[in-house]
Amino acid sequence: NNSEFICLWKNCNRNFEDAETLYSHLSTDHVGRKSTGNLCLDCHWDDCDVRTTKRDHITSHLRVHVTLKPHICEKCKKAFKRPQDLKKHHKIHSELHQQQLSHMKS
C-alpha cells in the first residue's frame, strides 16, 4: 500500500515507492534552489499554509508531511527520525541494561 507516499503538493498527486523518494521529489521539484531560479519557500501541501524565509527551514518543515526515519539500529532494525533518538535507544541493547531487566523480573 503506497497511499502514504503520495505527493499532496498543489496540482501534483504523484505516487512514490518510499518516504525518501517522496522527500527528494519535494525538495527538488517543489522547493527547488535559488541557484536554479525555482526556489519556493511556501508550503503548498494540502491544507498547509506555512511560509518560511530560508530553504533549510522549508525542507525541515517538509518532514511534518513526510516521515523520514533514516537512523536505523543495526541490532534490531528499529528506525528513528533523529540521531539522538537512536543513540538513546542503543542503551537498551547494553549488557548493563539487560542485567537490570533480568533482576527486575526475578
Q: What is the average pLDDT score of the chain?
A: 90
Is residue 54 located within the same domain as residue 12? yes
Cell of 6: 503520495
Is residue 13 located within the same domain as residue 28? yes
Task: Work out whether strand 79-80 and strand 71-72 pair parallel, antiparallel, or are unpaired.
Answer: antiparallel
Is residue 16 located within the same domain as residue 57? yes
Whether 57 shows a pLDDT value over 90: the answer reads yes
Q: Which residues contact 78 (CB under 8 A, 6 or more apart)?
A: 72, 89
Is residue 11 located within the same domain as residue 57? yes
> Which residues span the domain enclosing 24?
3-64
pLDDT tens track for 5-50: 999 999 999 999 999 999 999 999 999 999 999 999 999 999 999 9
Cell of 79: 528506525
Is residue 59 located within the same domain as residue 42? yes
Calpha distance 30→25 (Å, rounded): 7
Collapsing DSSP to helix, strand or coil, 77 comes out as: coil
Is residue 53 located within the same domain as residue 87? no
Is residue 7 located within the same domain as residue 54? yes
Q: With a threshold of 0.75, does the pTM exceed it?
A: no
Inter-CA distances, 83 with 24, 55, 89, Å: 20, 22, 10
